[in-house]
Amino acid sequence: MTEKPTIFISYSWQTMDVANKIFNDFQIIGIPIIKDNQEISYTDSIPNFMKRIRSCNYALLLISDNYLKSKNCLFEILELQKDENHWDKILPIVWKETKIYSAIDRLTYIKYWEQKTKELESAIENVDPMYCGEIYKEIKLFKDIAYNIDSFLKKISECLHFTPEDIIEKNYEPIMRKLGVDYEPIALTELLKIILIKNLEHKEIALDEYIKIYPESGYYYSVKGATSKELNNFEKAIYYYEKGLEKDPYNFEILNNLGQIIEFRLKDYKRAKSLYERAIEANPNFDIPRINLAVLLKHHFNDNEGSKEQYLKILEFDPNNAKANNNISNFYKTHNPTEEDLQKAEFHLLKAIESNPLYIDALINYGNFLKVYRKEIQKGNEYYLKVREIDKENNLKELIDALIKSEKG
């Protein structure tokens, strides 16, 4: 097995669209990439995040003005700087309007964090220090950022970097060369161009032309199989995915996608289980095959403990994963749950909703929880009403109407 390098995307909420695009483009060809789906809170998830960003081979930094004013983003930078070889890991993408190239530009950010420090120090001036342990940690963080941000930005300004527009126009070729993936960079960037084609029939034609010029690879068959899958040609998709695995037996994207077809179309649950397990082995921090495996274990193998274990594994490397938090809550509500069990279920449901306020399954699940276990009928109905607001096409109208009328979930 040739181990592929893993990439961690560090970004602020305001640049999520670019982060999502890069994530999707890289995932489809099977390059391991890790991206948080929400802003990480200061106290409970930074340690997990820190471990993940430092354990990756590369950190793709989407540097914008908002990024440089985000304590969480800059905490990540401070953690990266603890590694002696951290500059070898950093892949910077800088928004063109972000001013970092002169001393005056950099002073703007030093002053920003200095002011944030003073504001917090002033706010606790007359408060007993024994009550402010976490606040003092935050003050220290702000001071560390103010102290280090100048040298960091100076280094970024002096190294070759690209804007988001440039890197996408180049089809990520500079990143591919830096990664040293075991495939001709030009062939890979040409394949990434094809991924951007929205018309599926045009995409198939482009893939047929591509293979006349470039060699077969797991990356190629991953895109070929995904295109056939989108066209609902599942026999072809299976054929191409299996060809891809001959070239790259540890392409986790192929393994997961093939597992889904084998599970839902062929109903071969044993083989689907094996494919999900291989996808997890190839990329342990890839949440999708773990979720697929967890659902499969529960519904077709009656293995509740194995299913629960997969959700717990996800929450180890991504404590804010909305789907894992929602699904694991169900395990704490079965077989005469104790109050401790119910507290755990509620914690995970609230975490899921905090992570994704538009997550319909979690909103319904929490509404049910409130009505059944807390007997808070009105409050439970409020969560159903939130789903009604989100469900613009009224696909869930009958279900929500029935739940609201019910005295229990």
Is the same domain home to 26 and 163? yes
Does a structural domain hold residue 242?
no
Domain edge (last residue) among 145, 168, 191: 168
Is the same domain home to 14 and 131? yes
Does a structural domain hold residue 252?
no
Give dist(CA 33, CA 22) in Å, integer.
9
Does a structural domain hold residue 306?
yes
**Whole-structure pTM over 0.75, yes or no?**
no
- CA angle 123–126–132, rounded 5-degree value: 70
Domain edge (last residue) among 148, 168, 188: 168
Does a structural domain hold residue 189?
no
Q: Tell me, what's the pLDDT at 284? A: 87
Reported residue count of the chain is 409
Is the same domain home to 16 and 163? yes
312, 321 in Cβ contact below 8 A?
A: no
- pLDDT by position in tens, the chain (length 409): 446 678 889 999 889 899 988 888 887 777 778 776 533 433 334 445 555 667 788 999 999 999 999 998 998 899 888 887 889 999 999 999 999 999 999 999 999 999 999 999 999 998 888 888 889 999 999 999 999 999 999 999 999 899 999 998 887 888 888 887 655 667 877 888 898 899 999 999 999 999 999 989 998 999 999 999 999 999 999 999 999 999 999 899 999 999 999 999 999 999 999 999 999 998 888 899 999 999 999 999 999 999 999 999 999 888 889 999 999 999 999 888 999 999 999 999 999 999 899 999 999 999 999 999 999 999 999 999 999 999 999 999 999 999 999 876 5
Residues of the domain holding 353: 323-409
Q: Tell me, what's the pLDDT at 303? A: 97
Is the same domain home to 300 and 336? no
Backbone dihedral angles phi then psi of residue 61, each to the nearest 5 degrees: -100, 120
Edge-to-edge strand ranges of the sheet holding 7-10: 33-35, 7-10, 58-63, 90-94
Query: What's the farthest any 2 CA atoms get from each other in the chain?
Result: 74
Is the same domain home to 15 and 149? yes
Is the same domain home to 286 and 403? no
Counted domains in the chain: 3
Residue 293 half-sphere exposure toward CB, CA atoms < 13 A: 28
